[in-house]
Structure 1
Amino acid sequence: MTIDKNRRMVVGISGASGFIYGVRLLELLRGLDVETHLIISRAALLTMTHETHYKLADVSALAATTHRCDDLAAGIASGSFRTMGMIVAPCSMKTLAEIANGMSLGLISRAADVTLKERRPLVLLARETPLTLAHLRNMTAVTEMGAIVAPPVPAFYTRPQSLEQVIDHTLGRVLDLFGLETGTVTRWREAVEEPLTA
């Protein structure tokens, strides 16, 4: 059987606020028929209980495969395991620091390290504010290594009517980076505009 590496994505959910970004990302990727390999950190499980009504089984069911966050022998810990890239949504400052400094303390940071070394796209939805100098330096470091730091900043030109629309627009823009069309992005001036009249 031939495996289409272009339809396989690693998804990490770390402990920053915004657990729903990871859940909705899994839903969107499932709708696009992308095989997802999920890692949820221990801190993310705490965030899940504080921010959502989801149970671990609910979230795991959205992924093709769920890996233990400490399983450094998982397939996705090796560069020979082919993927189209990795998204960490949300990405905590702890996880960012591990990636920036090449410290594979868990499977999320190890899979991210593998993604970088194989020159595959790595997108980090960094969630923190205000930012310290350490945060900024770590963002610079991962950017210099080839990652894309994409804080989930809402686009107000879309005039969102719900939190769901804000989340979907952000994740749609993230998936644009992989050439995946979700249909959730309101694109600036892509629609045919009416001519201005005097």
Structure 2
Amino acid sequence: MNRQRMVVGISGASGFIYGVRLLELLAELNIESHLIISRAALLTMAHETDYKLADVSALASHYHRADDVAAGIASGSFRCLGMVVAPCSMRTLAEIATGTSSGLIGRAADVTLKERRTLVLMARETPLTLAHLRNMTAVTEMGGIIAPPVPAFYARPQNLSQMVDHSLGRVLDLFGLDAGTTLRWGEAPKPGASDEAKVVRRGVG
């Protein structure tokens, strides 16, 4: 495999922009992305953004239909760094936690877990029910990582884009990838870091 690859799932939770921006960052890092968008996510896309399916799928290296369970990424023989579901709805979380996948996102996540690769779920819901918490525990016990998109206010974000980029930068850290979008505590921004990472920390602490 000459180029590193990552699977990206976008489910129907609020926060469609996380998936879109993740695809952009992966392209900047020269990571081959394999995108799946659930049917519910298409509804969220229409409510939250001005994107069309063609716009988003064009950001990915490869686009797979959510019902295409015969896609290569549904097999353990498909080598990749792992998978991120950004954002991850509670329904998708439940499918992954119980192994009862009804589509390609769940199947690809199941494959990621069984092959002991990194699976990150940007779970997006509040408040959480006991069912949600138990499903998060189940995924964690199987080796997955629950990473809600929680803003880091110590970075003094000036806009929504900076908050999104910081959260995604921390997610990519879990794969050993530095997108240059994360202001790290106690560190100055690296030379060449994105504008989103160059946030002045006045009076922190």
TM-score class normalised by the smaller sequence: over 0.9
Candidates 111, 121, 141, aligned match of 1:124: 121
- What amino acid sits opposite 2:182 in the alignment? V
Measured after TM superposition, the shift of residue 181 of structure 1 is 0.6
Q: Kindly report the root-mean-square deviation, in angstroms, between the aligned alpha carbons of the 2 structures.
A: 1.0
Q: How many residues align?
A: 189
Q: Quick check: 1:78 aligned with 2:67?
A: no
Find out whether 1:137 has 2:134 as its counterpart: yes
2:26 pairs, out of 22, 29, 38, with: 29
- Matching residue within 49, 56, 59 for 1:59: 56
CA distance in 1, matches of 2:17, 2:71: 25
Distance 1:190 1:177 in 2: 19
Runs of 4 or more above 4 Å deviation: none
Structure 2 counterpart of 1:87, from 73, 78, 84: 84
Unaligned runs of 5+ in 1: 193-198
Hey, what's the Cα distance between the residues in 1 that align with 2:53 and 2:165? 22
CA distance in 1 between counterparts of 2:162 and 2:2 reads: 30
Q: 1:180 aligns with which of 171, 177, 193?
A: 177
User: Structure 2 counterpart of 1:27, which letter?
Assistant: E
Q: Which deviations, in whole Å up to 9, do the C-alpha atoms of 1:40-82 show, x marking residues without a partner?
A: 0000000000000100000000001100000010000000011
Structure 1 residue 190 displacement after superposition: 2.3
CA distance in structure 2 between the partners assigned to 1:4 and 1:121 by the alignment? 19
2:2 alignment partner in structure 1: 4
**Identical counterparts, % of pairs:** 79
SS of residue in 2 equivalent to 1:123: strand
Mapped to 2, the partners of 1:141 and 1:173 lie a distance apart of 22
Deviations 1:99-156 (A, max 9, x none): 0000121000000000000000000000000000000000000000000000000000
Letter in 2 for 1:170: S
Deviations 1:69-99 (A, max 9, x none): 0001000000001111000000000000000
**Equivalent residue letter for 1:31:** E
Secondary structure at 1:59 match in 2 = helix
SS state of the match for residue 56, structure 2? helix
SS of 1:66's equivalent in the other structure is strand
AA aligned opposite 1:46: L
Answering whether residue 17 of structure 2 is matched by residue 20 of structure 1, we say yes
- Amino acid of the structure 2 residue aligned with 1:171: L
Secondary structure (helix, strand or coil) at the match of 2:8 reads strand
The one-letter code sitting in structure 1 at the alignment partner of 2:2 is: D
Q: 3-state DSSP class of the match of 1:71?
A: coil
Structure 2: runs of 5+ lacking an equivalent: 190-205
2:167 to 165, 170, 175: 170
* TM-score, normalised by the number of residues in structure 1: 0.94
The equivalent of 1:195 in structure 2 is none
* Candidates 145, 150, 155, aligned match of 2:147: 150
Q: 1:145-186, CA deviations, whole angstroms, 9 ceiling, x for partnerless residues?
A: 000000000000000001000000000000000011111000
* Distance in 1, Cα, partners of 2:104 & 2:58: 19
Give the equivalent residue in structure 1 for 2:112. 115
Return the alpha-carbon distance in structure 2 between the equivalents of residues 84 and 143 of structure 1: 18
2:12 aligned with 1:43 = no
Indicate whether 1:97 and 2:97 are aligned: no
